[in-house]
Amino acid sequence: MSSVVYIDGELVPAGEAKVSVYDHGLLYGDGVFEGIRAYNGRVFRLQEHLDRLYASARGIQLGIPLSMSEMESAVLRTIAANGLTDAYVRLVVTRGIGDLGLDPRKCGAPTVFIIASTIQLYPVEVYRAGLRLITCRTVRTPPSSLDPSVKSLNYLNNILAKLEVAQAGADEGIMLNQEGYVAECTADNLFLVRAGEVVTPSPEAGMLIGVTRNAVIEVARAAGYVLREALFRLGEVLTADECFLTGTGAEIAPVREVDGQAIGSGKPGPITNELHAAFQELTARDGTPIEAGSR
């Protein structure tokens, strides 16, 4: 089956799906997006992703031309049209076509497109051995400049940090905020395990609060672990018993070293492995059925 893309209400062959060069999403990164996963015929936490999408759009005064229920149907329809039961979905809303100026008032209707495909962010070996992280020199954009809860198309801050990761030959990078506290990684949230407690940066650190992050917090608390959100510095990462990352693409990915220093035993820890297994059980049963989009 050839893949199709949803764009402004139509499903078109992927090779024919096009966005104008005058679209402000392309020209200025003016728009919002979500990355969403489907497992075993169910879309995981679709409502939470849509809630965040619409909140991000409100945050930049972007009116989405579909109601939330219409957007849900569009996502499900796109996955079903591609014959997928396990999928990665990229849902994008741009400001739309305008002129070469910045003024968003010059744009017409927003552009909406949805891509449904597959993803494997890290090879299987990474989940067995763990990720190698570095600390990035690029500092996370401060909340006073841009609300971190807005998941916008302008990812240059993260991309510059990701370039540092690539140049170092590492797998991911930790981004600090202006005060030197750990905020997040270039594309993932971060968790530590210390003395049996699970700790993750608090929202005031200035990171995007991930849907997977929230699910893992639920899983950890359901498993009986103390889960704390707190401000902490890099030293607490380096001296943790375990460390792992969470994200839509990564799911739960263990960390074996940071800046060349082993974390704990230098292997995925038992609590990380336990939470990963529990998260996989959650994704197997929790979600919106893809078949609902054909009704």
Whether 162 is catalytic is no
Q: Is 196 left (phi over 0), alpha (psi -120 to 50) or beta?
A: left
What is the C-alpha separation between 43 and 293, in angstroms, rounded? Answer: 11
Q: Hey, which residues does 93 pair with through a beta bridge?
A: 32, 112
What is the C-alpha separation between 136 and 159, in angstroms, rounded? Answer: 11
Q: In what order do the strands lie in the sheet with 42-43?
A: 10-13, 4-7, 111-117, 87-94, 31-39, 42-43, 288-289
Q: For residue 42, which phi and psi values (nearest 5 degrees)?
A: -130, 140
**DSSP 3-state of 21:** coil
Instruction: Answer yes or no: are the C-beta atoms of 31 and 152 closer than 8 Å.
Output: yes
Instruction: Answer yes or no: are the C-beta atoms of 73 and 291 closer than 8 Å.
Output: no
Instruction: Answer yes or no: are the C-beta atoms of 173 and 54 closer than 8 Å.
Output: no
Q: What number of other Cβ atoms are within 10 A of residue 13's Cβ? A: 10
What is the C-alpha separation between 225 and 8, in angstroms, rounded? Answer: 45
Considering 106, 151, 162, 267, which one is annotated as catalytic?
151
Q: For residue 240, which phi and psi values (nearest 5 degrees)?
A: -70, 160
What is the C-alpha separation between 211 and 92, in angstroms, rounded? Answer: 17
First-residue to last-residue Cα distance in the chain: 21
Q: For residue 270, which phi and psi values (nearest 5 degrees)?
A: -65, -35
Instruction: Answer yes or no: are the C-beta atoms of 8 and 112 closer than 8 Å.
Output: yes
Which are the catalytic amino acids?
151
